[in-house]
């Protein structure tokens, strides 16, 4: 199940430490982004 989800979403499967190392090496996000609309800032 986890493998299928990772492949379909194009994400890396592994520990948080491993994911952090991959992000540093390749300069690209490998963890899922936060879902939803950005919150309004107070102006």
3-state secondary structure the chain: CHHHHHHHHCCCCCCHHHHHHHHHHHCCCCCCCCCCCCCCCCC
Encode pLDDT of 1-43 as tens digits: 888 988 888 888 889 999 899 889 988 888 877 888 888 887 6
User: So what's the pLDDT on residue 24?
Assistant: 92
Distance CA(12)–CA(5), nearest Å, equals: 10
Domain of residue 13 covers 1-32
pTM tops 0.85, yes or no: no
Does residue 21 form part of some domain?
A: yes
Please state the domain count of the chain.
1
Does residue 42 form part of some domain?
A: no
Does residue 15 form part of some domain?
A: yes
User: So what's the pLDDT on residue 25?
Assistant: 93
Does residue 20 form part of some domain?
A: yes
């Amino acid at each position: 199940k986890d493998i299928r989800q990772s492949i379909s979403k194009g994400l890396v499967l592994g520990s948080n430490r491993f994911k952090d190392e991959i992000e540093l090496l390749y300069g690209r996000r490998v963890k899922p982004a936060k879902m939803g609309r950005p919150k309004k800032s107070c102006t």
